[in-house]
Amino acid sequence: MLKEAAALDAADGLAAERARFDLEEDCVYLDGNSLGALPRGVAGRLADVVGREWGRLRIRSWEESGWWTAPERVGDRIGRLVGAAPGQVVAGDSTSVNVFKAVVAAIRLTDTGSRDEVLVDAATFPTDGYIARSAARMTGCRIRAVDAADMAREAGPRTAVALVNHVDYRTGRLHDLPAVTAAVHAAGARTVWDLCHSAGALPVHLDAAGADFAVGCTYKYLNGGPGAPAFLYVRRTLQDRFDSPLPGWNSHADPFAMDPAYAPADGAVRGRVGTPEILSLLALDAALDVWDGVDLEAVRAKSLALTDFFLRCVEAYVPRGRVESVTPEAHGERGSQVSLRCAAGPAGGAGDVMAELIRRGVVGDFRRPDVLRFGFTPLYTRFADAERAARVLGEVLEGTRQR
């Protein structure tokens, strides 16, 4: 497997992108699905923002350095990566806050007299479920949890909105965004897609699919840094009816008029609330430079090749019966991670196994009760990393001493 990994890395058209990240050679980092690696250009950009734009220009930077328009400018850069034409994505706030905006706005766009149901992916990331339940209580709706695979056929005459994770955070299962969107629309309802585990990992085609709303974080595959601002997509044809439940001064048509009456701005600006988080927003802006000129189809092809190769290495190195992949084999149903169910054994439970992997320089993560997650970020993950991770996993599960 070592020779095959070397050959695959030699033929990798994205191999040069790794040099744009701050990564140690002796560490296999497979946790970019939780926190992406640091792009090398971010530190210098932040130093300039702090030292010159804030330190010297101070308040002038809102205009002279473009701080005021940064949420839309950065939003458009993200939009290119999720299949959204300019003017439909705004960067800011957290994923949770943006889920709330999108779900409530989607409900307000429907006839809530007869449509009082919010469909939620039964395996959703917990925050999405918490927010959806709160939004439902506030709008007089009820929550109905269904399997994401059943979402298309479960949408009906009472459905106001369906909140769906594009990629399941536990298993890495990819759901069919175009098909589910079309089915939900056929039922007369709206969609809100959570792209946290797909933005930057694979091509997303929001405009082409006719998606209504989408949200996502930027600290995973987009490498924006811990707590980086999230994003909100509002389809252009809905923007004049987008009634945000959080109408902050930054989304006012004339913010500095300080008018006590709210008048919403046009376009994606309606998705703003308060003062932009400039330091983290401009760190994200710099991080997005690594995507300039990158072909997302090439990213997807490498992602699938990496995860295929890793699974073959696991089969070759790991004692039979010790782990079971819960990530779909079919390419059309797989995101950019591999999740392995790991039964307790001589090396301990799955949490103990991951702790030992990290001690040996292979960084993934653990999800209770028994899942080992390995995220593959094609811009910097090598086939040699996949081979080493599987080999060390095998050694840990066999109880082999570290060499």
Residue in 62, 318, 339, 350 with CA at minimum distance from that of residue 197: 339
- In this structure, the answer to whether residues 132 and 6 fall within a common structural domain is no
Amino acid at position 16, single letter: A
Answer yes or no: is 161 within a domain.
yes
- In this structure, the answer to whether residues 249 and 139 fall within a common structural domain is yes
- In this structure, the answer to whether residues 87 and 211 fall within a common structural domain is yes
CATH number for the domain including 253?
3.40.640.10
Examine the fold and report which residue of 243, 275, 307 is the final residue of a domain before the chain moves on. 275
**373 flagged as catalytic:** yes
Answer yes or no: is 211 within a domain.
yes
- The active-site residue, picked from 213, 219, 231, 233, is 219
Answer yes or no: is 81 within a domain.
yes
Report how many domains make up the chain. Answer: 2
The pLDDT of residue 112 is: 66
Answer yes or no: is 64 within a domain.
no
- In this structure, the answer to whether residues 271 and 363 fall within a common structural domain is no
Tokens representing residue 239 in the block: 């923007």
Answer yes or no: is 316 within a domain.
yes
- In this structure, the answer to whether residues 227 and 118 fall within a common structural domain is yes
Answer yes or no: is 46 within a domain.
no
- In this structure, the answer to whether residues 146 and 247 fall within a common structural domain is yes
Examine the fold and report which residue of 242, 275, 308 is the final residue of a domain before the chain moves on. 275
Answer yes or no: is 283 within a domain.
no
The pLDDT of residue 24 is: 95
- In this structure, the answer to whether residues 211 and 351 fall within a common structural domain is no
The pLDDT of residue 358 is: 98
- In this structure, the answer to whether residues 263 and 308 fall within a common structural domain is no
Q: At what angle are helices 95-108 and 126-139 packed, to 10 degrees?
A: 40
The pLDDT of residue 402 is: 59
- In this structure, the answer to whether residues 101 and 225 fall within a common structural domain is yes
- The active-site residue, picked from 220, 235, 322, 391, is 220
Q: What tens digit of pLDDT does each residue of 334-371 get?
A: 999 999 999 888 878 999 999 999 999 999 999 999 99
Neighbours of 261 (CB within 10 A): 6
- Cα–Cα distance list, 359 to 28, 29, 209, 362, 400 (Å): 11, 12, 43, 7, 14
- In this structure, the answer to whether residues 112 and 232 fall within a common structural domain is yes
Containing structural domain, residue 255: 69-275
- In this structure, the answer to whether residues 6 and 128 fall within a common structural domain is no
114: left (phi over 0), alpha (psi -120 to 50) or beta: alpha
Name the pTM for this structure. 0.97
Amino acid at position 148, single letter: A
The pLDDT of residue 113 is: 78
CATH number for the domain including 356?
3.90.1150.10
Q: Any residues with CB less than 8 A from the CB of 355 and at least 6 apart, and which?
A: 366
- The active-site residue, picked from 173, 235, 302, 373, is 373
Q: Where are the alpha helices (DSSP H) in 262-344?
A: 278-287, 296-317
Q: Per DSSP, what are the bridge partners of residue 159?
A: 117
The stretches in the chain having pLDDT less than 70 are 112, 400-403
**21 flagged as catalytic:** no
**219 flagged as catalytic:** yes
- The active-site residue, picked from 125, 213, 317, 374, is 125
**220 flagged as catalytic:** yes
Distance (Å, rounded) from C-alpha 128 to C-alpha 164? 9
Answer yes or no: is 290 within a domain.
no
**194 flagged as catalytic:** yes
Examine the fold and report which residue of 209, 243, 275 is the final residue of a domain before the chain moves on. 275
Distance (Å, rounded) from C-alpha 389 to C-alpha 342? 15
The pLDDT of residue 237 is: 98
- In this structure, the answer to whether residues 140 and 19 fall within a common structural domain is no
